[in-house]
Every structure is written in C-alpha cells, then in structure tokens.
Structure 1
C-alpha cells in the first residue's frame, strides 16, 4: 500500500503483497476504506471480525470478502494472511454509502442541525467540523473516519462535496430534514425507471406485487397449523403485503441506482445491497405509484 501513498491509522492493513495490486485500475480509496472498516468492525477473541447482525457491519464484512481481504464465516469474516484484490472492484457509490453508515453506527460521525433550526439538542455536542454545502448539513467527523471519507471524495476543505449529496440521501439524516423526493434528479430518475424496466425485472416485480388467493389460503393454513394461534384473512393480507414491499425494496436495492437507473447484470454483481436504503425505498414507492397503481400497498405508507 506504500505504492499508493497509504498512511495507516495505527494497526497496519496490507492489501495485496505485489505491485500488481497497486496499479491504476485500483481506486485510491481502497486502502483507506479497508483500514477504516477493519478498525471499526467489532472483533472476537480470535481476532476475527463480527457483524453482530447489525446491517452496516454485515455489509462491511461482505465488502472485505469482496475485496479479497477476508473469508466469510457466517457470523462475520476471517482476515486472510495475504489479501489479494479482485479484478472487479465494488461500486464507488455503494462503498461511499457504506462508509457513512459504518461511521454513523460506530459513532464516528454526528449530524448537526442546519444553522437557524428552531430546535436544538438538549445535550452538548462536539462542534461541527464539516460545514454545510451542496444540500448537505453540518456534521462532526472523528479523526478515525476522515481518511476514508476524504479518499472517497465526499469532503474537501472542511465541506461536503457535490458528489456527497446523493450519497447522503441514502443515509437521510433526520437532523437535516432532507426532501430529496421532490428533487428534480429523483423525479427524473423515476421517469427513467418507469420507462426502461428490463423484461426480467418487470417479471420479478409483477410476480411479487400481486397477492394471489392461493397465497392467502396457504398463509392461513400455515398459521392455523400452530396451536393456540388464531389468524384471519386481514392478518394474511397484512403479512403478505409487508413481504411484497420488502421484496420489491430488495429489487431496487440490488438492481437500481439513482445515477445509472436499472443496472446491467454485471453492475448488479459489483453492487452492495444496502438493506433499508432510504433512497431505494423512496424510489420503490414513487415507481409503484405510477407503474403499479392497482397495488396501493406498494406506494402508500
């Protein structure tokens, strides 16, 4: 990592052992992100990373595996002795979002209210060291997270960059009160999503949007097979609609991105599925209102 100017933050993380790994095809953010995530993830006594079934940490372990730095062990990831970067690097936008999520989960970032907000926090907070810019509000960022977030191009000169704005839509800090659903970029992306649904995606959407009678019957039979449990048709519909929403959210989380629309199969493979992504869920709802108007459970909530 000396070949790409990597300065470690304490414990050294070496990604790859040959110059083959430090080439122009490897984005400069890779070593900084690996170092940050490696240090942020909880570890067990054996020195393995543990995700603790926390979403941001689960995806972090997945990223370390995809970057050739670890082996999945079901409860987290085991560091490998000789990391070896793959030929295909995960998508920048997904990695950038994940780093924000991990920083928030680990307490390395704290979002602050926009200047002039009517309410203020009751407890004293560390002052913001990232100023509001490009639709993003102020924030406090701990030293441990600065190299990774800066290497991803999200901050410059103590301000959020233009590239950071839509990444932060995928975190949607409540302190900022963002309204990206009325932004022209979101609306244009919805137009494109409706107009260009790939055939295989359209089939998946239709399959999981429609709740069929046989599904209701099967659900009730399963519910009634458990002693002491009484369920009716409304219970079945509520449960099936919930799973319908969840599955369609997964389609958008896996196969759609704001900047690119519907992803090709190869781009979907490069992606990280960030579950409960506020941007993907909002797009699913906006899309469904136009594309699936007869299924209001998918766009009313």
Structure 2
C-alpha cells in the first residue's frame, strides 16, 4: 500500500502530465494526491484517462489557481467525505485486516496571513471522524528553523501556530527519507531559498496499524516542489528491500543512461595507451 503526493504546478502542461505518468509507473501508488492542478473537472478527467487512473475526484481550480485531485486504484474502496478548495478528506478500505482508515490530502493557503484560518479548518476536520488518520500534502509552513534555508525570514509565531494545530489533532510528523528540502526558489533579492513544505503526519492509531509506514522524498524536476512525496506502508520497506531497490536503480542507470562502465573504462584506457605509445 502506498500514497503519492505531488505539487504538479499545472497539469495543463503536457510535459507535466508525462512526468506524472512516469512517476506513477515507477512508484505504482495505490492513491495519488495532486495539488495545484490548475484544471477544471473535465480537464482532470482527461488527464486521469491519459495516466491510467480513472477512479478519483477532482476539486476544480479557481481561475488558473489551485485545483486538487485524489486518484486511486480500482481495487480500493474510497468514500470521499469532505472536500473544498484546500483539502480532500476520504475513508479508505483497502480490503485487509487493518480496517477502514482516513486520508486527508491537504494544501495550505500560500498567503501567510490566512494560514491561521487553515489550521482552524484542519482542526475542525480532526473533530469530524474518529478513524486512524494520516494527513499528507503541501502545508506551506515549517515546523522548525532547521527546515528552511536562505535569507527569507522565519516567523516563530507561524511555527508555533502550526505546532499547536498538530498537537490539538494528535498528529505526529512521520519524518522522511531523502532530500531535506522539498521546495526551492531562486529570488534576485534573497538568493536561493529552500524549505521542507511537503510532509505527512499521522495519529498514533494510524501508525499502530501501519507500523512500517515511511515517507519518502523522490526527485522530480517538473515543478518548484522538486520532490514528490510518498508514503509506503508495507513491510517491503525493510533495509534489505531498500538496498535491493537501490541496486536495481543503479544497474538500470548504468545500462540505460551512463553505459556499461567497465567497457567505457577499457575503451578510454586503450585510447590513453595509444596516445602514450
């Protein structure tokens, strides 16, 4: 079982659609949460058919701003409970012994002065359903000063408000494997700014039924959120599996991108010998 979350920064771009399709083929997620699609519902339906995930729900963009999507495989039972411009909230029945659990895909308001309102929305969501809960998405906020790098100011009050929201909802940050930052921008006045804005958080109950749940940051160059995030919840994410997965990726890179290293070394050594002769 796995969930992929991606800030796609406009799926009206064919290049972004192809990047999403490649990511889904590579990661094979059971659920996909999309942010900033900038699409209407009918446009999102066309994208779903193109990427091969026709089950889902879309929240339309407002003009060319925002837009969300939650897609899932046909073998899952998904009951969408609440939606609006900033989130999609659903109950998931994966047909296993773990029972029904809750997923919220969340996109925090990018306007700083409105974030306190978003935390209130998240808190109200937390009070609506008593199910094991995981919340994943782009929260446009950091939990500590170490999660941001660059000259941009960090507000201790904003961090405190975010922390209080998580504490009141019983949500714990799942941590991550991969790059420290998930967002980057290069501004003329501030230079390069990087931050960890994308994350996954869960209640103790959810972590109890998915004790192997881990969040991974995967490289993706299709947006300023240069890393897609994903939760893998099965035992397959042991160290041995991760090492084997790494070995496979390196082997494919060697054969498909870099070429056969040994033969290249022999070829270059032969050239060097001929030059020295």
Query: TM-score with structure 2 length normalisation?
Result: 0.28
Query: TM-score with structure 1 length normalisation?
Result: 0.26
Tell me which protein shows more strand as a share of its residues: 2
